[in-house]
Amino acid sequence: MPNTLRYPVWQGHYLAAMLEMNSRMMKARIVDAQDAIRSRMIGSEAEPEERQAISDALQALRFLSR
């Protein structure tokens, strides 16, 4: 399967959290995804489209962690 992620640096971690069914593992994957996103935000300037994708992903992770 080809890599179709637009922002593979952090989106793989995000998708792993979103698709995790085990609640204990989900919490760890959410933290991992949040860390990957924070690293991306610190690492370089993201274009507006990626900033919006990051914002959407963080909102979804917050919802998922409830």
Alpha carbons 17 and 36: distance in angstroms, whole number:
12
pLDDT at residue 2, rounded to an integer: 53
pLDDT in tens, 6-64: 999 999 999 999 999 999 999 999 999 999 999 998 877 889 999 999 999 999 999 99
Which residue intervals of the chain are DSSP H helices? 8-19, 23-43, 48-64
Give the residue among 37, 35, 23 at the shortest CA–CA distance from 65.
23
DSSP-derived letter for residue 57 is: H
Alpha carbons 9 and 2: distance in angstroms, whole number:
15
What pTM did the predictor assign? 0.88
